[in-house]
Amino acid sequence: MTAIVIVRDLRKRYGDIEAVRGMSFDVLQGEIFGLLGPNGAGKTTTVEILEGLRKADGGDAIVDGIDVSKQPQRAKERVGVQLQQSAFPENFTAKETVDLFALCYGVTVDAMTLLKQVDLADKAGQRQEKLSGGQRQRLSIATALVNRPRVLFLDEPTTGLDPQARRNLWELVRGIRQSGTTVFLTTHYMDEAEVLCDRVAVMDHGQIIAMDPPRALISALLARGFSKPVIQQQATLEDVFLDLTGHELRED
Amino acid sequence: MYLRAYVRDRTAIFFSLVVPLMLLLIFGSLNLGAFGRVSLAIDDQADNAASRQFVAALEKIDTLSIKRESAETALAKLKRTELDMLVVLPKDFAIAPTRPGQQAPTLTIYGNASRPQQTSVGESIINEVVTRLSYAVNQTAPVINLKVEDVQGVRLRYVDFLVPGILGVNVMQLAVFSVAFALVVAKRRGVLRRIMATPLKPSVFLVSQVVTRLIMATVQVLIMLAVSVFLFDVHPLGGILPLLAVSLLGAVLFLTIGFALAGWAETENQVPAIAQLITLPQFFFSGVFFSKEAAPELIRPATNLLPLTFLNDALREISVQGATLWDVRMQLIGLLVWTAIGFVLAVRFFRFDRF
């Protein structure tokens, strides 16, 4: 498979803090790639450079064959973006929000089809600020798909969502990948990375310290003689929670 | 430009249209509405030919609203500020020239000290009438009517004065507050970041913001003018279009200040403080509700240079004196200079790479 995102020796510093210190990695076409790391590891900075929102101090970032630092506008046309801690303009319905972003990309879309894709068709006429957290996250993905992106960037897409909404979003992401879009996501939830991502890169202090499919990383750890000090549980509290409250998405 | 529908903020529209209308209605219909009319009581104790002639001359003047009252009741009313002035014509009132040795009749005028403008207007009118009448008697020439017309030139209703001021101040409020608030909130909540993640050019975004505001300002100005014309019978002498044009120039000026403020402020809580700091002095010193001459002498050179002063002066000259755009070119130049200053500030503070 070919690489659709190529990052070479990427660097970014804010004053004295070196947020990104020489990152290099490839994201392959059609995969779900996860960038993992604790808060402050430099995940968001890396993603924002790839999205064309920040200028790198050094190194190359190439998305779908376009050098992001040289042609940020063209790169923006090729990618879909869901930002961490961002919001939509107020006083718009869900459908109007999708139409608005289509305008921003200079394209026309069938907003209803997109809303159907993210399971929000019945909320089309509702003000977006009245949507629940999970619904807004799905609306956010709908707006990120208006330009039929080659790569979809999701920055901590499930932070703050309840277990049902998280699982629903994972399904949505898998469906998007199925339709041919490469997905690049950041998360600090390891369970999310484990079930969702084809490959993950673990970063800390602005550098990648490991990169492989989740299973391979786990096997490698076990091969190094690691064993959990606690007895392996057959179920987690989350399993209990989902068993008690069901898998259906809560819409409120 | 295609983002014209971008801000469909219903609350903002409410505030930018309803509040100014309320201001206009309140101040327009308040007692202040009768600024130009001085309420005058006359106690004609002489009731002779001369006194009747004098009272008749006064009654011809529109600026005065005259009541016959006894000095006693009128004085009580004066104290309650229900009257502006009282004129007492003494029993020996006469307009004839005084013969040597004869004491001239004394006309007593009581003025309401709390309404100095009305009182001084009234005094000057009475003086004028007295002079004309005496002159007429001395020269036996009937110049009264002609001269009285002169006096009537003073007539300017408060609403006529008020409407351009309200227009100006609302253009300022709309431009500064709506932009600063909306954009700081958008900035802080990450709306701007999200929009900047699309290929939309920042310039297009800014133009759409400006155009949206200018459309709102146009609607606002037109509604205010319609209310002024139909409800308060104000007739802008210079025409509606020059007023609209000057208002929009003012809107652009204050928009640049709004953008600068939006760029500078970190949170929406800082906006009202700074916005008030910018707008409040202009509210009072730029001749909105009362003449800018009311500002203390010391700071008047400064208040004359305030952006809103230029805007209000231009609007008022067009509306009240029927000035053309060319007549108010000095004010327009002032506005343009301020626009340039605001533009520099806006570019300096409103930076997209900081969101």
Q: What percent of chain A is helix, strand and coil (3-state, nearest 5)?
A: 35, 25, 35
Q: What is the pLDDT along chain A (252 residues), one digit of tens a residue?
A: 789 999 999 999 988 888 999 999 999 999 999 999 888 888 989 999 999 888 889 899 999 999 998 998 899 999 999 988 778 887 788 998 898 898 888 888 899 999 998 889 898 888 888 888 888 889 999 999 999 999 999 999 988 888 888 998 999 999 999 999 999 999 988 999 999 999 999 999 889 999 999 999 999 988 888 887 776 678 888 888 888 888 777 765
| Chain A nearest CA to B256, separation (Å) | 21
pLDDT of B158: 72
Which H or E run includes B59? helix B49-59
* Higher pLDDT, residue A37 or B98: A37
Residue B55 reports pLDDT greater than 70: yes
* Higher pLDDT, residue B104 or B184: B184
Mean pLDDT in residue range B121-145:
64
Chain B environment of A88 (Cβ under 8 Å): 191, 194
CB contact under 8 Å between B194 and A106, yes or no, is no
Burial A36-63 (b: 16+ CB within 10 A, else e): bbeeebbbbbbbbbbbbbbebeebebbb
| Chain B nearest CA to A191, separation (Å) | 28
Mean pLDDT in residue range B273-296:
77
* Higher pLDDT, residue B116 or A159: A159
Q: Taking CA atoms, what residue in A is nearest to B183?
A: A89
CA-based nearest residue to B171, from B285, B279, B85? B279
Residue B275: pLDDT band (50, 70, 90) is confident
pLDDT of B281: 80
Q: Is A59 left (phi over 0), alpha (psi -120 to 50) or beta?
A: left
pLDDT of A28: 94
Q: Taking CA atoms, what residue in A is nearest to B195?
A: A104
pLDDT of B56: 83
Q: Are B130 and B108 in contact (CB under 8 A)?
A: no
CB contact under 8 Å between A88 and B191, yes or no, is yes
pLDDT, tens digit (0-9, with 9 covering 90-100), for A16-69: 888 999 999 999 999 999 999 888 888 989 999 999 888 889 899 999 999 998
pLDDT, tens digit (0-9, with 9 covering 90-100), for B135-175: 766 654 433 333 333 333 334 677 777 888 888 888 888 88
What's the predicted TM-score (pTM) here? Answer: 0.70
| Cα separation, A135 vs A118, whole angstroms | 9
Chain A environment of B198 (Cβ under 8 Å): 76, 81, 101, 104-105
A→B contacts (Cβ < 8 Å), by residue, are 51-53, 55, 73-74, 76-77, 81, 83, 85-92, 100-101, 103-106
| Cα separation, B130 vs B28, whole angstroms | 33
| Cα separation, A25 vs A59, whole angstroms | 12
pLDDT of B165: 85
Q: Of the segments A231-235, B25-29, B241-245, which one has the largest average pLDDT value?
A: B241-245
